[in-house]
Amino acid sequence: MNHRTYLALAIPLTISTVTTPLLGAVDTAVVGQLPNPAYIGGVAIGTVIFNTLYWLFGFLRIGTSGFTAQAHGANDQLLGTLAFIRPLIIALAVGIGFWVLQKPIEYAALSLLNPAEDVAALASDYFGIRIWGVPFTLVNYVIMGWLIGMSRIKISVMIQVLMNLLNIGLDVLFVFGFGWGVSGVASATLIAEVAACLIGLLIVWRGTAYRFQLPSLKMVADGSSVRKMMAVNQDLFIRTICLLAVFNLFTYKSAAFGTETLAANAVLLQIHYLMAYFYDGLSNASSILSGKAIGSKNPVLFKKNLKLSFQWAFFSSLILTALYWLFNTKIFSFFTAIPEVIELGGLYGDWLLLFPLVSSFGIVLYGVFTGATETAPIRNSMLLALGVFLLALWAGVPLLQNHGVWLAFILFSLGRSVFLILYIPRLKRLIKKTETGF
């Protein structure tokens, strides 16, 4: 395997994953053209709530991808089918649970984030519409994870691109055509999520060369396999809790500095998401190759994948930093035309120059570990990074105000890279175990 092979996976996966934050980014950009910054704040609060809900169960995509890649590497169709069905059951159960508990979830989220009254009302409108898309989005996570694990990259890209084109078109129609405001962007996102899920299910069932033969209930509920899946998912769940704690505290502290600062930080976070999901494309490529190496008992592929992951984490951090440095003003202005928010974006935006440099290794190597289903290091490194964030937030905000919030976030991003790199020797021991045939 060489750079060309790695990039043949990474480039389409990057296109696919970068489209994920575009749902929130497009919503923010559309309402950012409206005259009141409360619209941006309302969508920002609503987006944080749904990021919380979705990220809690992001393991449905990540875990599915790792187990499917291993099944694909072993050429085991039954394991591949089970890798799809087990998380699908979880996604449906959780999604319906959120429907039932939507009112308590909304109340708890708005009470915790405590935005201004006008922002809270808009966030409530946004939440009340988008909550109906939760089961479809969670099922879509399973679909995306399975397709990526099966190396069906073009199909996954097609679904994501279609979803975002539909979202963009409906955003413009509902907000500028019908004048629906925040309710319009929420409705557009809901329709796009439902459509992507239904198309994805159809493609998985009928549009791939994979032939499903439904396993028995006994196979689906096999104790050892389910325990392995739950152990991996538990570690990824804890990792997600750490991320959510960081982003929710970030938004909470932002709201304390006023609506304009909240809006500026919300736009900068959307730009950060685009960067982070760019790395997720590389991470997914590393995960596929790592899973295939484990499944096919190929230590040479594993070692080469680890080396390429390091190299492209470094190269991509330089590229993203340069692009943001050159075009940061134009990028920020795309999201909003409000002068006060643009001014604050210029004041705090330089922090994002550091983000690619400090976070790239942590995000890309995350894929290597998940593909190998070695998730305990991910859990531990994120817990340590969260500790760094909390300490920096406690010490920095009283002195530096909103700059202190950004300093804490950058140190957290650095921590997740450094602490995960420290687990590389453990990964190398896994490679040595692979060499002996497991």
Give the model's confidence band at 438: pLDDT under 50 very low, under 70 low, under 90 confident, else very high: very low
The string of DSSP codes covering 181-218 is: THHHHHHHHHHHHHHHHHHHHHHHHHSSS----PPPHH
Separation between Cα atoms, residue 269 and residue 250, nearest integer Å: 10
Which residue from 24, 255, 269, 22 is spatially nearest to 120, judged by alpha carbons? 255
According to DSSP, residue 35 is labeled: S
What is the structure's pLDDT at 418? 95
386-426 tens-digit pLDDT: 999 999 999 999 999 999 999 999 999 999 999 999 998 88
What is the structure's pLDDT at 83? 78
Give the model's confidence band at 243: pLDDT under 50 very low, under 70 low, under 90 confident, else very high: confident
What is the structure's pLDDT at 140? 92
Report the 10 Å Cβ neighbour count for 223: 7
